[in-house]
Structure 1
Amino acid sequence: MKDTAKHQGLRNKLAASLREKGITDERVLDAIRRIPRHLFLESSFEDYAYQDKPFPIGAGQTISQPYTVAFQTQLLEVKKDDKILEIGTGSGYQTAVLVALGAKVYTIERQNELFKKTSLLLPKMGIKPKHMSFGDGYKGLPNYAPFDSIIVTAGAPDIPNALMAQLKIGGRLVIPVGEDVQVMTLLIRKNEKQFEKHELGNFRFVPLLENKN
């Protein structure tokens, strides 16, 4: 698959529709315009890649709909060189958006099939996360902590303590919390013990699974 002027036009339309849905961060919209989402999907989905919908990517996982990616990314308030932990690399699309914003991304994926596929795809596209690893997202990456931000791209029944511990003071953790339907939750770390919590609407994600490797 190639990236063509037609694809660019579809991305411009997608970014415009995300703005209408309430995404206001111009840098996030610009990243959506720049990242060729169709290259993260099977070729059979190419014609639908710029619809605001999730699609299957194998191993029982999905690529999140662009609105969800933009919404979570906007909540992170990414600054250049921010050190960000991503739980659930998946297709690598969210990773690519964060890298486009200038973040140093540390990403972890628990599905070996996806991990192998995405580890090959991202470098081929010239997208370079700081670190990619295969493992249990519940544990985070304590060896690389603390992080400016943490983003979780799967639904968790609760917020893992290990992830809260790996967040810098002043850092932001964005995680969908709940069983069938998840509430998008933003935690801002105020000091060693205190976190400010914001609940920002309902979403649906595949579940974050623990201790499956």
Structure 2
Amino acid sequence: MNFRLQGIGMTSQRTRDRMVKRLQMQGIRNPQLLSVMATTPRHIFVDEALASRSYEDTALPIGHNQTISQPYIVARMTELLLENGPRQKVLEIGTGCGYQTAVLAQLVDQVYTVERIGPLLKKAKDRLWELGLKNIRYLHSDGGWGWPEFAPYDGVLVAAAPTEIPEALLAQMAVGAVMIIPIGDENGQQLHRVIRTESGFEDDVIEPVVFVPFLTGKQ
């Protein structure tokens, strides 16, 4: 048994179970998603000093001016992505610490994850490897370019907020694909669900959110 993954005290299974109960009270219904979030050790994705806070419903810093999203947002975005059935190929923009990637990888066939900050990507890769998640491909690149080599995707999840959707990401969606993306600036952001149809795109506004801004270039 790997005790680091298992957790103790504020990182224990009991704490994860409490987090899942809270997610259910917040309206998350997908049973497979709730099961994955109950068993994924969120505490290994933050610095040890913050591990005891990792199951609180709050965003936490992960370095490089980035954050790990609060559990509710991870759950909400994932549930919206999977709402109309399973997804085979999902493009994730913004690997960050890798927690959202870990949740996705247990619910979809293949995850293609792109991160612009090299040190974050390396750390995430090590953690995801430790969890035995092998259905993930990694790219150190500007997220606004997507990952055209493996397009089209039937799901796209974006973990930073642009002021408008990058055209390259829309172009890499298959017909029937779903994109979950926050859009906005410091004056306010909204979570959007974009579905590609035969004739174009349907765009629904879901709820207000707060994400780090979508930046270009790679570090």
Question: Do they fold alike, i.e. is TM over 0.5?
Answer: yes
- Pairing 1:149-188 to 2, within 5 Å after superposition: 149-180=155-186, 181-188=188-195
Provide the residue aligned with 1:53 in structure 2: 58
Q: Work out the percentage of aligned pairs sharing the same amino acid.
A: 39
Q: CA deviation at 1:80?
A: 5.2
Instruction: Tell me how far apart the structure 2 counterparts of residues 108 and 115 of structure 1 sit (CA, whole Å).
Output: 8
State the one-letter code of the partner of 2:67.
T
- Pairing 1:107-146 to 2, within 5 Å after superposition: 107-146=113-152
Q: Is 1:148 aligned to 2:170, yes or no?
A: no
Instruction: Tell me how far apart the structure 2 counterparts of residues 121 and 70 of structure 1 sit (CA, whole Å).
Output: 20
Q: Is 1:82 aligned to 2:88, yes or no?
A: yes
Q: Deviations over 1:120-154 (max 9, x none)?
A: 22112212243101000000000100001000001
Contact 2:5-2:41 at 8 Å conserved across structures? no
CA RMSD of aligned residues (A): 1.5
Contact 1:107-1:129 at 8 Å conserved across structures? no
Give the SS at the match of 1:183: strand
Q: Is 1:68 aligned to 2:69, yes or no?
A: no
Alignment: residue pair count: 212
Give the SS at the match of 1:154: coil
Structure 1: runs of 5+ lacking an equivalent = none
Runs of 4+ with >3 A deviation: 78-81
Q: CA deviation at 1:210?
A: 1.5
> Normalised by the size of structure 1, how large is the TM-score?
0.95
Give the SS at the match of 1:178: strand
Q: CA deviation at 1:206?
A: 0.5
Instruction: Tell me how far apart the structure 2 counterparts of residues 35 and 66 of structure 1 sit (CA, whole Å).
Output: 11
Structure 2: runs of 5+ lacking an equivalent = none
Q: Is 1:190 aligned to 2:193, yes or no?
A: no
State the one-letter code of the partner of 1:131.
R
